[in-house]
Amino acid sequence: DTTVYINNRPVVMEGERNLLELIRKTGIDLPTFCYQSDLSVYGSCRLCLVEIEGRGIVGSCSTPPEAGMRVHTHTEEIRELRKIAIELFLANHDSNCPTCLKSDDCQLQNLARRLGVDAVRFQSVLVKKPIDNSSPAIIRDPNKCVLCGDCARMCSEIQGIGAIDFAHRGHDAAVLPAFGKKIGEVECVNCGQCTIVCPTGSLCLKPEMEEVWKSLTDKQTYTVAAIAPAVRVAIGEIFGMEAGAVSTGQMLAALKLLGFDQVYDVSFAADLTTIEEGSEFLERRSAGVRLPHFTSCCPAWVKYVEHFHPHLIGNLSTCKSPLQMFGALLKDRLPDLVQIPRERVKVVSITPCTAKKFEAKRPEFTHDGIPDIDHVITTIELGRMIKAAGIQFNDLSPESFDMPFGFSTSAGVIFGNSGGVTEAVLRFTMEKLSNKPLAKLDFVEVRGESGIREASFDIGGSTIRFAIVHGLKNAKMLITKIAAGKCAYDFVEVMACPQGCINGGGQPVNHVYNYKQLRTRGLFTAGKMFHLHKPQDNIMVNECYQQYLGDVGGAKAQQLLHTHYKN
């Protein structure tokens, strides 16, 4: 028999790992802070309690279902225990909710409301600790931590880093960076994945909205938006649209209403990157040097290599990320095109990524004291700004990107999901190597959800081997296997965030179980709306080479589009 009785109704087990999963299958969303289906079970928050007849009250996340069990999810005792748990959390919490960065999506607030907590019966025991503001990408407020440990498990189990972990015991227990250091002083790579799973405002992205408002309202400043590929499939979620809804047109209309002078597409720069990086890869391959070629567009991955695998720095592509290429290009080219001095042009990048905040501040990307990208805001921050301005996003008529830097092919758009860079590089290199038009555009062999994927392609009598990785723990596993001679590749794409930028640390939190797949699908749908699909066909990029950059990989391209990371 495989039947369990949930609130007296029969439910058939189908391989669920624990009672919580089985109960959720019946349509009951049990409350929890510390259960994340992608992470190991910790069982600390005691909110998912259920009563099993004959056994008493247990945590459903850590109890496997057994045939014949009779389970009750909301007895009077359980409801009271859950309320007490929430009240204890609140008694040890800095409840400055109206000004908290996570106020829109705080699980503690949501649960307090949902469970009917209308008063806290315990006296506050909060002893305020300093807020850790040391990172360029995230803020850590220990006064809001509920000790669920989701952040620490995300950092170690998915990213393989362990920049934060539990420390001390009893009332002193805390989740902290190692050795009492600040988060900006340890090996944190700024991916922001911990901020996505943190149920409260204890870990948040570091906002830069005020600086952008200043730039937009200063009449002397010419403010340009550079919008990363993955923003268009998530910004709508902030305004009630389903995950993956493509809302490029409304987003552009909103940016114009906010006061941006020009709105450009980072996908343009992604096409440029593919041409530069694809050519660099082919050169390395024919010379047999610096292989495997590792991508370098993900700043969290680059920092990870610098910290943990410095011997691989030489294998990273010398190409700047599309965003940083774009910043350098716009700062160099735009002043002439729009007849405005360089110091008055401000480039604001709008990205799904918290690590881009760190990348923009790297010394490699600052010239004469002026950064190539002036400010980086995330999808979440753009949503806040649109709301703050009172712009009715859902009612906007769609608008389009500005030219010439708003023109892209679908290859530039799919950069925003894991495998997208590889597919774009394939569309470029396979045509180049075969010297004839591509027979097919879609390289479905490199798509998918698995954390480590591989695909080989035969061309001109030889084979090119690709690997695609997302999640830094997977990258670590792949690097170890390569070093042990257990596998070999020519080209390896690494994105730090699970499934790539569509799931970056600056994207809105979404509790729909398949939101990553929906956003990925949205990116491919967005790509289908383009006329052109190969980076080498981007007429505006080609014009840029002819009129301004010169040769691919030439002197001007090297100066603006490439860099060298140092050990």
How far is the CA of 427 from the CAs of 432, 444, 522, 531, 536, in angstroms?
9, 12, 20, 15, 9
Q: Identify which of residues 115 and 298 has a Cβ nearer to ligand HC1 in the complex.
A: 298
Neighbours of 145 (CB within 10 A): 25
Question: Which C-beta is closer to ligand HC1: that of 49 or that of 138?
Answer: 138
From ligand HC1, ligand SF4, none, interface partner of 138 (C-beta below 5 to 8 A by class)? ligand SF4
The entry of ligand HC1, ligand SF4, none near residue 164 (CB within 5 to 8 angstroms by kind) is: ligand SF4
383 makes contact, choosing from ligand HC1, ligand SF4, none, with CB < 5 to 8 Å by partner type, with none
Among 280, 161, 231, which residue's Cα sits nearest to residue 296?
Answer: 280
- Nearest residue (CB) to ligand SF4, 158 versus 275: 158
| 289 CA to centre of own chain | 31
Q: How far is the CB of 232 from ligand HC1 (least distance, A)?
A: 9
Residue 422 contacts residue 292 (beta carbons within 8 Å): no
Chain center to CA of 159: 12
- 358 counts as binding ligand HC1 under rule CB under 6 A: no
Question: How many residues touch ligand SF4 (CB under 6 A)?
Answer: 14
Q: Which residues are registered as beta bridge partners of 140? A: 132, 203
Nearer CB in complex with ligand HC1: 153/303 = 303
Contact 408, 226 (CB under 8 A): no
**Residue 492 in tokens:** 């390896």
* Structure token digits, residue 123: 């006296």
Residue whose CB is less far from ligand HC1, 365 or 415: 415
Question: Which one of ligand SF4, ligand HC1, none is in contact with 323 (Cβ closer than 5 to 8 A by kind)?
Answer: ligand HC1
44 binds ligand HC1 (CB under 6 A): no
Does 298 interact with ligand HC1 (rule: CB under 6 A)? yes
Residue 270 as a binder of ligand HC1 (CB under 6 A): the answer is: yes
- Minimum distance of ligand HC1 from residue 261's CB (angstroms): 20
Spatial separation of the C-alpha atoms in residues 516 and 244, rounded to whole Å: 8
Residue nearer to ligand HC1 on the CB measure, 44 or 195 = 195
Selected range binding ligand HC1 among 71-79, 92-100, 317-325, 458-466, rule: CB under 6 A: 317-325
d(CA 254, CA 34): 36
DSSP 466-513: EEEEESHHHHHHHHHHHHTTS---SEEEEESSTTSGGG-TTSPP--ST
Which positions from 165 through 194 interact with ligand SF4, judged by CB under 6 A? 188-194
Return the residue of 356, 362, 427, 562 that touches ligand HC1, per CB under 6 A.
356
Residue pair 236/398 in contact (Cβ under 8 Å)? The answer is no
Query: Using alpha carbons only, how large is the chain's radius of gyration in Å?
Result: 25
Which position among 6, 48, 163, 494 is part of the footprint of ligand SF4 (CB under 6 A)?
163
Q: Specify the residue, 471 or 504, whose C-beta has the smaller distance to ligand HC1.
A: 504
Residue 321 contact, options ligand HC1, ligand SF4, none, Cβ 5-8 Å cut-off depending on partner type: ligand HC1
Q: How far is the CB of 200 from ligand SF4 (least distance, A)?
A: 15
535 burial class (0-12, 13-18, 19+ CB within 10 angstroms)?
A: buried
CB-based burial of residue 477 (10 Å sphere; 0-12 exposed, 13-18 middle, 19+ buried)? middle
For ligand HC1, the closer of residues 19 and 231 by Cβ is 231
153 and 36 Cβ atoms separated by less than 8 Å: yes
Q: How far is the CB of 323 from ligand HC1 (least distance, A)?
A: 3
Among 60, 202, 351, 410, binds ligand HC1 (CB under 6 A): 351
- Calpha distance 214→236 (Å, rounded): 25
- Catalytic residue positions, numbered: 277, 280, 297, 317, 356, 359, 364, 501
Residue 469 binding partner per list ligand HC1, ligand SF4, none, with a CB distance cut-off of 5 to 8 Å that depends on partner kind: none
Note every long-range contact of 102-110, with CB atoms under 8 Å and residues 24 or more positions apart, other chains counting: 102/198, 102/200, 102/201, 102/204, 103/201, 105/508, 105/509, 106/199, 106/200, 106/201, 107/33, 107/199, 107/200, 108/33, 108/146, 108/199, 108/200
- 297 lies in the binding site for ligand HC1 (CB under 6 A): yes
Residue of 164, 204, 224, 425 interacting with ligand SF4 (CB under 6 A): 164
229 near ligand HC1 (CB under 6 A): yes
Partner from ligand SF4, ligand HC1, none binding residue 189, C-beta < 5-8 Å depending on class? ligand SF4
Sign, CA dihedral 550-551-557-561, equals positive
**Subset of residues 220 to 279 that bind ligand SF4, contact rule: CB under 6 A:** none
Residue of 71, 353, 464, 518 interacting with ligand HC1 (CB under 6 A):
353
Q: CB within 8 A of 406, min separation 6: which ones?
A: 263, 264, 265, 268, 400
CB of 201 to ligand SF4, least distance (A): 15
As a whole number of Å, the end-to-end CA separation of the chain is 60
User: By CB under 6 A, what part of segment 377-416 binds ligand HC1?
Assistant: 415-416
Contact partner at residue 163 from ligand SF4, ligand HC1, none, CB < 5 to 8 Å by partner kind: ligand SF4
Q: How far is the CB of 515 from ligand SF4 (least distance, A)?
A: 19
Q: What are the tokens at 538?
A: 């981007």
Residue whose CB is less far from ligand SF4, 183 or 258 = 183
**163 makes contact with ligand HC1 (CB under 6 A):** no
Q: Per CB under 6 A, does 230 bind ligand HC1?
A: yes
Please report, for residues 256, 346, 348, 377, 400, the alpha-carbon distance to residue 262 in angstroms, rounded to integers and kept in the order given: 8, 11, 10, 16, 11
Non-local (6+) Cβ contacts of 506 within 8 A are 192, 205, 351, 352, 353, 354, 356, 378, 379, 380, 381
Only one of the segments 169-177, 338-346, 350-358, 558-566 lies at the binding site for ligand HC1 (rule: CB under 6 A); that segment is 350-358
- Nearest-CA neighbor of 205 among 120, 288, 102, 301? 102
- Does 472 bind ligand HC1 (CB under 6 A)? Our answer is no
Contact set with ligand HC1 (CB under 6 A): 228-230, 266, 270, 297-298, 321-323, 351-353, 356, 415-416, 500-501, 504
Residues at the site binding ligand SF4, with contacts judged by CB under 6 A:
138, 154-155, 159, 161, 163-164, 188-194
